[in-house]
Structure 1
């Protein structure tokens, strides 16, 4: 295992809060981890297990000694118990339409126990233990924006209204005792500005830059813009790796971890294409003021050659690109919303370089992404009819723009399960012939039901499965490792799986962790017998397949270290 680059604050995502213990010895860092929306023409959420985290750090140590991930909402506050290794975590948010949803969570970091002492609670904005440690005092929002206890006009006062809640605490909270019910009393209503007068921290608009600055100062780290999720990785040759994330257009690292190239400018890098020459897809979002205008930003393609980036295409709208080694590049336009653009694009980088406008049908970020790059053919997904998102088929677009249909993603049986969503895949060419591996999930209209996902291999030109497995999460990345005859698949629950490409036999299935805390592999690329990996918390690593096969721990985890 070779670590190419680590984030400055290990084990964190986008830092949203920094809360020191009363004695100043421990810092609780609250962070939020990205969803897989990269570029904006891809959206894949199903089964993601890491969204919010509270991690604990000691002074001078940028690696957490404990972390808690089992949180469902934004983290608003963290309070330390005066004598016990316990924190209270206030979480919640407005659902965007009516309700203020929340949780109050207690976490014992020594025994790694947690409890939710309240059966149901609206958004918890602030929390603290009283001086004795025998109670948790909180400020919460109303149940919803039209709650009858609010003064008129309710819609205007809901967001400025807070209600005190006091809950008894003892160590028995972690023994599975019943949760309590709470009632909000209209007569106890406070306005947001009154929180400080009642001994709580000021309630201000969340500012991630300020939270990062406080965390860096406390940890005695240089002030810098922190790197978060790695969006894509791609081998340029066997010694150089291209990387993109939200803080750059492109970075290039060698195998010693030295950064040999870095490019910055408007926008950020989203995808690395295995075209000839290799290209980076750069997203230039519209200004914030224009988010709801017909203008949807710009997608640029830049060739990576001789240590420079050279623009080869610029297209208004939100696109995702795939390429072939021959120099053909296909750009699919996200139609929801499409903005001023109306068609997909087909480029021949080895020829004239001009973009041909073609219409391959409807595209939306949940239904039509497939992400097969570097194959001898340009694959895409198309509904039936092509204006639809249903009954999707795998297709190939020819250099002329003509379409050749391969097979349906799932057999049509008239149920929701025959509708595939949040897919990705890779091309396979081996002794079993040419084929495609596809991962995705079966559509389920009830969000409370478990994720039912899949990964399978089918042959090209024949609607025939060579193998199939059920999975608990969608894949973030799938790669063929031809030197080993393996498929590597990373899933949003943190699992990395190695399967024999020919028959699908699972040789390795483990969940990734870094410095003892869980992570998710967001992107992956293969070269020889090595995998380059980029994680949701900003680590870039290279690992040999042989190392992985030997590195699985008895508890089902493996370490990216």
Structure 2
């Protein structure tokens, strides 16, 4: 969420919400805004918050004692706040005949809001589900406000992937954009390939003239079940942005690649009985080769994106429970033979349930290794110290060093000197490749406001490109104590 000054639209405060923001209402007399957030979790509950934002200080307070999705807020008068909340969970829909419940809360201390001060029950009554917010209309209003003030505004969100090209250009995939290309000297992209969904992966092929770009539309909730369209894998000419070839798997998928250009499609559908259990191997020119049974994909912890890998690497779980007992496996080409390399969990005594993550292959003075991220699952959520970056000998998996963190890693790149890691807390950390010691760490800010990094690529020994949640591509200069600055 962000608050902008009405005159010049300068950002005066900026903060992250735990759930998507649905609605906002300004208090009729106080410098206060009520913000409703939340969403369905996809399986049972409707969670969210009611936030009160002090417009003078920029501080926020979450006032609901229990998480609930807040769909509408309106101030009836200075003391009364009208709300529309979602039902707590699926089983309540049959009882109420709707997923929306209305209530009103009257207080005279809104200017002294305290955490969790609003407790159940709220005296809710069923109301018909309202129409979804018109995002196109909201974007048009913002664009009009900017034009009236001589400003140019373009909606950009979530840069999920970035990569670099030998001539210094940067390519990025983001919401609404399959792939775009930037020159360091340009203020506009050299070319852009739009998409109806989100660009979520980029794999530059060894010729450095073409790239595979994966796009995916958002899941839809229809007839009490989630439906996800198949992914599209576009082969894009990096000089002109022209589409050379389109690969259309029959299901949502991710691309896993290795350094020589061989790649594979792995289906990510996990909700139905028809979920694919095979991966399809492809040669560098896109021709299909063998298919290999790898077991079902698991939503949270099957992805294992390793840069510069000499093999096609995957996580494979148990046949009966794909989320359990993960092993790192390598699939050879073109025949598709598979080799189990090492368990994802390196501490047998702990017996942890580990989630996979992003990483990179390197071969330095200490020998070949994988440096990868991940986290240890706990039913209470991600506990402090349960996220990690680990260096492991390749292909045997012996642990050489571990760096622990409190927040999930979002992207990683590495060279012979440093491992560069970003976290969803907004932090960039540089670790020494040889021993994992912290060389430097920096909170990423643009114009004084914290940004959340989603993707990263090393451009040179002293420069990184970082894609952010709010649609930016930052070019960060590294010094002894990095102070990244967005270009």
**Deviation, structure 1 residue 255:** 0.8
Alpha-carbon deviations, 1:137-180, whole Å to 9, x = none? 223448658999x9xx8432x44652222111264446x8x835
Distance (Å, rounded) in 2 between the aligned partners of 1:274 and 1:94? 36
Check whether the contact 1:146–1:155 (CA below 8 A) recurs between aligned residues: no
Distance (Å, rounded) in 1 between the aligned partners of 2:182 and 2:276? 36
State the partner residue of 1:343.
278
Alpha-carbon deviations, 1:271-301, whole Å to 9, x = none? 1113223422333659969996998424324
State the partner residue of 2:103.
163
| RMSD of Structure 2 on Structure 1 (CA) | 3.6
Correspondence 1:309 to 2:243: yes
Which of 277, 281, 299 aligns to 2:232? It is 299
Alpha-carbon deviations, 1:439-483, whole Å to 9, x = none? 11112123385572111101113332211011112211110134x
State the partner residue of 2:336.
401
State the partner residue of 1:540.
473
Check whether the contact 2:181–2:192 (CA below 8 A) recurs between aligned residues: yes
Q: 1:213 to 1:309 in 2, by over 3 A?
A: same
Q: 1:403 to 1:473 in 2, by over 3 A?
A: same
How many equivalent residue pairs?
A: 477
State the partner residue of 1:68.
15
Correspondence 1:213 to 2:140: yes
The aligned runs of 1:214-229 (5 Å cut-off) are: 214-220=141-147, 226-229=155-158
Which of 34, 38, 41 aligns to 1:88? It is 34
Distance (Å, rounded) in 2 between the aligned partners of 1:225 and 1:305? 23
The aligned runs of 1:454-533 (5 Å cut-off) are: 454-482=388-416, 485-529=417-461, 530-533=463-466
Instruction: Give the 3-state SS of the residue equivalent to 1:316 in structure 2.
Output: coil
State the partner residue of 2:50.
104
Check whether the contact 2:70–2:86 (CA below 8 A) recurs between aligned residues: no
* TM-score normalized by the length of structure 2: 0.84
**Deviation, structure 1 residue 330:** 2.2
Check whether the contact 2:473–2:486 (CA below 8 A) recurs between aligned residues: no
Distance (Å, rounded) in 2 between the aligned partners of 1:315 and 1:371? 19
Alpha-carbon deviations, 1:324-356, whole Å to 9, x = none? 342211222225147575521112226x83332
Q: 1:386 to 1:104 in 2, by over 3 A?
A: closer
Distance (Å, rounded) in 2 between the aligned partners of 1:262 and 1:94? 33
Correspondence 1:245 to 2:174: yes
Could you say which structure has the larger radius of gyration? 1
Alpha-carbon deviations, 1:241-288, whole Å to 9, x = none? 111112222111111134222223565532111322342233365996
Correspondence 1:444 to 2:378: yes
Instruction: Give the 3-state SS of the residue equivalent to 1:209 in structure 2.
Output: helix
Flag the structure with more relative contact order, 1 or 2, with Cα contacts below 8 A and sequence separation at least 6.
Answer: 1
Q: 1:319 to 1:146 in 2, by over 3 A?
A: closer
Distance (Å, rounded) in 2 between the aligned partners of 1:486 and 1:271? 24
Check whether the contact 1:162–1:192 (CA below 8 A) recurs between aligned residues: no
Distance (Å, rounded) in 2 between the aligned partners of 1:288 and 1:126? 21
Alpha-carbon deviations, 1:498-556, whole Å to 9, x = none? 1111111111122212222221111111132221111010001222332xx4344xxxx
Check whether the contact 2:458–2:464 (CA below 8 A) recurs between aligned residues: yes
Which of 177, 183, 193 aligns to 1:263? It is 193
Instruction: Name structure 2 gaps, 5 residues minimum.
Output: none
Check whether the contact 1:396–1:404 (CA below 8 A) recurs between aligned residues: yes
Instruction: Give the 3-state SS of the residue equivalent to 1:251 in structure 2.
Output: strand
State the partner residue of 2:4.
57
Instruction: Give the 3-state SS of the residue equivalent to 1:364 in structure 2.
Output: coil
Distance (Å, rounded) in 1 between the aligned partners of 2:134 and 2:88? 24
State the partner residue of 2:205.
275
Correspondence 1:550 to 2:485: no
* TM-score normalized by the length of structure 1: 0.74
Distance (Å, rounded) in 2 between the aligned partners of 1:107 and 1:59? 17
Q: 1:181 to 1:418 in 2, by over 3 A?
A: closer
The aligned runs of 1:309-458 (5 Å cut-off) are: 309-311=243-245, 313-337=247-271, 339=274, 341-349=276-284, 353-384=287-318, 388-399=322-333, 400-411=335-346, 413=348, 418-447=352-381, 452-458=386-392
**Deviation, structure 1 residue 91:** 3.8
Alpha-carbon deviations, 1:44-96, whole Å to 9, x = none? xxxxxxxxx2x1112354541112335556432221352x4332333455666
The aligned runs of 1:99-178 (5 Å cut-off) are: 101=47, 103-117=49-63, 119-120=65-66, 123-128=69-74, 133=78, 135-141=79-85, 144=88, 154-156=95-97, 158-159=98-99, 161-169=101-109, 171-173=111-113
The answer to which of 71-80 and 325-334 deviates more is: 71-80
Distance (Å, rounded) in 2 between the aligned partners of 1:290 and 1:93? 15
Distance (Å, rounded) in 2 between the aligned partners of 1:65 and 1:322? 42
Q: 1:315 to 1:91 in 2, by over 3 A?
A: closer
